[in-house]
Amino acid sequence: MQRSHIDDFKKINDTHGHHIGDELLTLVSVRISRQLRQSDLIARLGGDEFVVLLREAKDEESIASIVTALIEHMSVPYNLKVGMTHVNVSIGISIFPNHASNIDDLLQKADVAMYEAKKMGKNTWSIFKGSST
């Protein structure tokens, strides 16, 4: 499971208004969807956070490949009504059953990993460092 957060999204809403923020969220969700495989799922948790369930990811190496490609794809400028804008994302990853055995714990551990990615400088990803509790 991966939890994605658009870095500095509040600045876009504050500068251009919520209607532009909503336009960006729509475009972001389309880009994420286009990068995923048919077996994967995407959901918006609210605000600027998305969750992606990589159902058939075999190992951390394959997850890393998917997430790295996603970050590259997300960094291509977006053409909004107010002009072009760049977006960076921070992604946290948790793996079932290695890190948790239920959805709530998986989300919480992906959240911890996402904030670790933010600490590393944003526009990157991190896998939860720990084990199931």
Give the active site residues: 48
CA–CA separation, 78 vs 66, rounded Å? 21
- Give 94's Cβ-side CA count (13 Å radius): 26
CA–CA separation, 22 vs 49, rounded Å? 13
Q: Count CB-CB contacts under 10 A for residue 60.
A: 12
Q: Count CB-CB contacts under 10 A for residue 40.
A: 17
